[in-house]
């Protein structure tokens, strides 16, 4: 199984073993009661999402959400032809990934479906908006398993929002296969993405530890840079075993695993790293045109989303808390210019992508990591938390 996916599975079962989160509404609650599993000050904007990843807000108020899906009918086998040895049902793949839209009046519709998906939560991830189109980055797990990729796996796709037509812009997975820029294991998995003021798409390869620059008009792309390994907290051992849910097969320095990416109004390309699931090893960088990276903040844990708020502050979503052996719910934090970290929304079940409207209301993906067969009931959500970044 894909290294990143395997660790997500471990995290999911760890959290589910530590607490029981019901994302539905309380049966006996009054009409004004807060839904169970939804933090105070937040409301549910969309639900029934299948492993949702990132969210983008269009000028007309429409919200677009990528859903990694929950696999399909094909059982994923190793290069030797044997099923993966994970506990529970074997991983599958198929075309359950999709792009969903939520209109300003709350109507939820699927814009495009039939996109590549692996049941460990790998599929459509990053998102960027254009004129009448949405670009999405689709991850993959085929290379790590030694099998043939699905059509449009590890590719940038363009979706016409009016028709739902899907067009491949660029395929990036083969670049990692052929070049392996970071010199570690070869397992491309495209993740966070955004559109720059220069009209170029910037996308993370979470499995390859790289950032690419893609021309959405021509499909031409280039390697922007290799993301540095995380700066570990003082006294923390560099081995992966430092994580309470570490991947036992990994050895040596932990890999950064870039996840969320955001091009700010200030022109900077911000990205956050997962930090190999080691507490305090998640880092925010600014990618430079020369391929280098400037560290903005560290000491975070399991960072998956990053964005600038309308107040000019930087915000990061942390997938889970790693303060004990069993991980707990995640949160969204505000990073101060003085290096301070302030929790602005706490107790979110598997938060992921984040964005703001002009009024400073936060939109955050919740219940982003839920594994099971395709018939499982999707429970992913999009929450709106009001007044988080007042302007």
Please provide the DSSP assignment of 205-269 as one string: ETTTTEEEEE-TTT--EEEEEEPPPP-PPTT--SSGGGSTT--TT--SSPP--EEEEEE-TTS-E
Section 333-345 average pLDDT: 94
Least trusted range by pLDDT, from 24-38, 75-89, 111-125: 24-38
Position 32 scores a pLDDT of 46
Position 102 scores a pLDDT of 98
What sign does the dihedral 294-353-59-201 (CA atoms) show? positive
With cut-offs at 50, 70 and 90, classify the pLDDT of residue 327.
Answer: confident
Least trusted range by pLDDT, from 16-20, 62-66, 355-359: 16-20
Position 106 scores a pLDDT of 95
d(CA 306, CA 284): 8
With cut-offs at 50, 70 and 90, classify the pLDDT of residue 15.
Answer: very low
Least trusted range by pLDDT, from 32-36, 185-189, 354-358: 32-36
With cut-offs at 50, 70 and 90, classify the pLDDT of residue 77.
Answer: confident
Least trusted range by pLDDT, from 84-88, 161-165, 178-182: 84-88
Q: pTM for this one?
A: 0.89
CA 141, chain centre distance (Å): 15
Position 19 scores a pLDDT of 33
Tokens read off for 390: 């007042």
Spatial neighbors of 119 by CB under 8 A, at least 6 apart, are 70, 71, 72, 76, 89, 91, 92, 93, 371, 372, 373, 374
Position 276 scores a pLDDT of 77
Calculate the average pLDDT of the chain: 86
Give residue for tokens 């006996």: 28
Spatial neighbors of 39 by CB under 8 A, at least 6 apart, are 345, 346, 347, 348, 383, 385
Hey, what domains does the chain have and what are their CATH numbers?
A: 3-385 (2.120.10.30)
Least trusted range by pLDDT, from 160-164, 207-211, 223-227, 296-300: 296-300
With cut-offs at 50, 70 and 90, classify the pLDDT of residue 222.
Answer: very high
Contact 189, 121 (CB under 8 A): no
Closest CA to 195 of 114, 124, 133, 139: 133
Closest CA to 153 of 122, 119, 110: 122
Position 3 scores a pLDDT of 52
Query: Which residues are 93's β-sheet partners?
Result: 74, 118
d(CA 331, CA 319): 7
Position 200 scores a pLDDT of 97
Position 326 scores a pLDDT of 73
Spatial neighbors of 105 by CB under 8 A, at least 6 apart, are none
**Angle, alpha carbons 188-191-101 (nearest 5°):** 140
Coil, helix or strand at residue 147: coil
Give me the sheet containing 201-205, strands edge to edge: 190-195, 201-205, 210-214, 221-226
Distances (CA, A) of 139 to 22, 150, 343: 28, 10, 30
Closest CA to 68 of 167, 141, 158, 139: 139
Q: Which of 24-38, 136-150, 370-384 has the highest mean pLDDT?
A: 136-150
**Angle, alpha carbons 294-387-273 (nearest 5°):** 25
Q: What is the pLDDT of residues 58-68, one digit of tens each?
A: 999 999 999 99
d(CA 124, CA 140): 9
């Amino acid at each position: 199984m894909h290294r990143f996916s395997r660790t997500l599975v471990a995290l999911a079962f760890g959290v589910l073993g530590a607490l029981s989160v019901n994302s539905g509404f309380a049966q006996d609650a009054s009409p004004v009661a807060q839904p169970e599993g939804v933090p105070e000050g937040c409301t549910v904007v969309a639900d029934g999402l299948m492993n949702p990843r990132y969210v983008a807000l269009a000028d007309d108020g429409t919200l677009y959400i990528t859903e990694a899906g929950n696999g399909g009918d094909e059982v994923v086998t190793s290069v030797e032809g044997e099923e993966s040895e994970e506990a529970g049902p074997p991983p599958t793949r198929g075309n359950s990934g999709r792009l969903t839209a939520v209109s300003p009046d709350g109507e939820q519709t699927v814009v495009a479906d039939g996109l590549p998906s692996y049941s460990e939560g790998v599929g459509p991830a990053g998102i960027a908006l254009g004129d009448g189109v949405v670009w999405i980055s689709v991850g993959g797990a085929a290379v790590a398993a030694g099998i043939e990729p699905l059509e449009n796996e590890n590719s940038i796709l363009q979706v016409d929002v009016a028709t739902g037509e899907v067009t491949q812009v660029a395929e990036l997975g083969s670049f990692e296969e052929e070049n392996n820029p970071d010199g570690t294991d070869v397992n491309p998995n495209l993740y966070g993405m955004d559109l720059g003021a220069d009209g170029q798409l910037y996308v993370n390869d979470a499995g390859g530890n790289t950032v690419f620059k893609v021309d959405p008009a021509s499909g031409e792309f280039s390697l922007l840079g290799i993301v540095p390994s995380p700066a570990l907290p003082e006294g923390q051992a560099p081995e992966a075993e430092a994580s309470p849910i570490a991947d036992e097969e990994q050895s040596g320095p932990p890999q950064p695993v870039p996840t969320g990416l955001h091009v700010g109004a200030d022109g900077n390309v911000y990205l956050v790293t997962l930090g190999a699931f080691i507490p305090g090893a998640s880092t925010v960088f600014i990618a430079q045109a020369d391929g280098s990276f400037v560290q903005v903040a560290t000491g975070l844990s399991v960072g998956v989303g990053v964005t600038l708020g309308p107040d000019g502050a930087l915000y990061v979503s942390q997938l889970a808390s790693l303060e004990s052996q069993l991980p707990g719910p995640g949160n969204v934090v505000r990073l101060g210019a003085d290096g301070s970290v302030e929790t602005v929304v706490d107790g979110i079940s598997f938060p992921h992508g984040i964005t703001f409207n002009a009024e400073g209301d936060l939109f955050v993906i919740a219940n982003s990591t839920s594994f099971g067969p395709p018939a499982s009931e999707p429970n992913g959500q999009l929450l709106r938390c009001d007044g988080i970044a007042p302007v």
